[in-house]
Amino acid sequence: MLAKRKLILSVLVVLAVLLSAGSAFADGVGSTASAKKQTRLMSVTFSPVHLLFPIVELTGEFKADDNWGAAIIGGYGSLTQNDGVLGEQTYDVWEVGGQFRYYALGDFDHGLQVGGEVLYVNVSNDIETSSGTVSGTGEGVAVGPFIGYKIATDLGFTFDGQLGYQRVGIGAEAKNESSGDSVTDESSDWGPLLNLNIGWSF
């Protein structure tokens, strides 16, 4: 289900990039002789996809220059999973990260962007078992490049989509609070980087 959802979102992002790039090119040709308009200074967006978990993820992007932007990412919420052994469990989730963006075509308000993202995610829960309380913690760091497109309308409504590839490192620990016994595990792999946000620019 998650893979299917990612595939659908990937297609939507690619379509948005293609359509918007064509529109930006047409606008650029028609306005070569006109004065360059002043762009907005910041954009605040959220991820509708994360709300399905539910997790509230916000991104604040700040204009560093006409063609450069820096973004801060933060999120908090919960994730429910049924593993078939312990039953349905709900985990607390929080995340923090950042991005740098270069607008290769267009500008801060409307352009094709290339950049990089780093994101830290923490997942935790206390599980009651027959042998006592087990505290579980999972941490992950994802780093990778992306290409994307942002559109801010004249009124300020903003669409921001990105697609890329990232290296993900994950570490997990389960500790029995009664006995002190613990088990750890680590892994790393490559995977898709996908962001699909909407919000407002100021």
- Determine the pLDDT at residue 127: 83
Q: Judge whether 167 and 141 are in contact, CB under 8 Å.
A: no
- Give bridge partners of residue 195 from the DSSP assignment: 162
- Determine the pLDDT at residue 36: 59
- Determine the pLDDT at residue 190: 98
> What CA–CA distance (Å, rounded) separates 164 from 18?
15
Architecture of domain 2-33+42-197: Beta Barrel (2.40)
- Determine the pLDDT at residue 177: 82
> What CA–CA distance (Å, rounded) separates 77 from 95?
9
For each successive 10 residues of the chain (202 residues), what is the average pLDDT?
Answer: 43 44 44 60 98 97 95 97 79 98 97 98 88 89 99 97 98 87 94 98 96
- Determine the pLDDT at residue 181: 86
> What CA–CA distance (Å, rounded) separates 12 from 47?
14
Domain boundaries, the chain: 2-33+42-197
- Determine the pLDDT at residue 38: 77
Q: Which two tokens mark 156? A: 């300020």
∠ CA 150-3-162, rounded to 5°? 15
